Amino acid sequence: MGRVLNGTAIADSIKAEVRAEVERLAPQGIRPGLAAVLVGHNPASEIYVRSKVKTCETLGLGSDLITPPETVTTQEMLDLIGQLNAREDVDGILVQLPLPPQVHAKTLLEAVSPEKDVDGFHPVNVGRLQTGQPALAPCTAAGIVEILKRSEIPISGQNAVVVGRSDIVGKPTAILLLAENATVTVCHSRTRDLGAMTRQADILVVAIGKPGLVTADMVKPGAVIIDAGINRVTDRKEFERYFAGDARREKTFAEKGSTIVGDVHPAAFALANAYTPVPGGVGPLTIAMLMANTVRAARLRRGLPV
């Protein structure tokens, strides 16, 4: 079993750096601020957004939680985004997905000012990222690269395989790894003989949303595995497939009736030189990088070096 890459510890380091940066900006009259827009009452979204707001408060960032009703229209949301774009105390705008069906999500996300797009979803930021300009990168993708760098794992010259081509994780991770001089292959649901591709990876990033998709026979011994999947397991047979003989997981499953598995079968980690666990790997980096992006946006908006 390889080295465990502790995402929680790395996220804590990034948050400490954010807190220090907030303190450095304070004498200049700058307090980076995040506005979070949460529509309706999706319990999972409410927990996630409130966690982001609480983290802002802990680190000294300004925060504003805005909760339009479930019946809100696209135009009403566009008006709200316009107001947030104009607010000087707001450096980052986060629109929590999913949105109700009557709201056109793509139109809304593109209405966010690119300078305040701390999720890194706006086409302008996507273009800036791809062309190597200063940009706000999607938080999970940026977090994956931070895990590698801060764990002193070589990227330059390595064969990196990214399984998953989402706009949120797969594609931006590939772009960021290219920027670090990795040789990158992107695989997806239509890739023929996925195992033949993944076995070439020195760095294997899996973000495809399918529990246990990558098995031990698909991993090159000594590879670094970054598992960005989060899948809830509630079925006993499925649990046994991933965690048979794991007493710690058995205890959690018995108490809660569920546990979490990534997109990589846990047996594959035995072959790895290093790997991110699930939970406790990539997940904690997402909020940490959101905080870092908010401070980065505050600096970029004011022409300060980043």
The answer to whether 265 and 240 have CB atoms below 8 angstroms apart is no
| Residue 60 zone, left/alpha/beta (φ > 0; ψ -120 to 50; rest) | left
SS (H, E, C) 21-69: HHHHHHHHCCCCEEEEECCCCCHHHHHHHHHHHHHHHHHCCEEEEECCC
Among the listed residues 165, 173, 277, the one whose alpha carbon sits nearest the alpha carbon of residue 229: 277
| Rounded distance between C-alpha atoms, residue 279 and residue 82, angstroms | 37
Reply yes or no on whether 263 is catalytic. no
Phi and psi, residue 129, nearest 5°: -60, -45
Catalytic residue among 15, 116, 117, 119: 119
Reply yes or no on whether 119 is catalytic. yes
CA distances from 177 to 92, 204, 205, 286 (A): 25, 11, 10, 17
Give, for 302, the enclosing helix (H) or strand (E).
none
Reply yes or no on whether 246 is catalytic. no
The answer to whether 160 and 201 have CB atoms below 8 angstroms apart is yes
The answer to whether 7 and 281 have CB atoms below 8 angstroms apart is yes
Catalytic residue among 15, 52, 116, 171: 52
The answer to whether 165 and 188 have CB atoms below 8 angstroms apart is yes
Q: With both helix axes pointing from N to C terminus, report the angle between 236-243 and 247-256 in degrees, rounded to the nearest 10.
A: 160
Under 8 Å CB-to-CB from 252, ≥6 apart: which residues? 259
Catalytic residues: 52, 96, 119
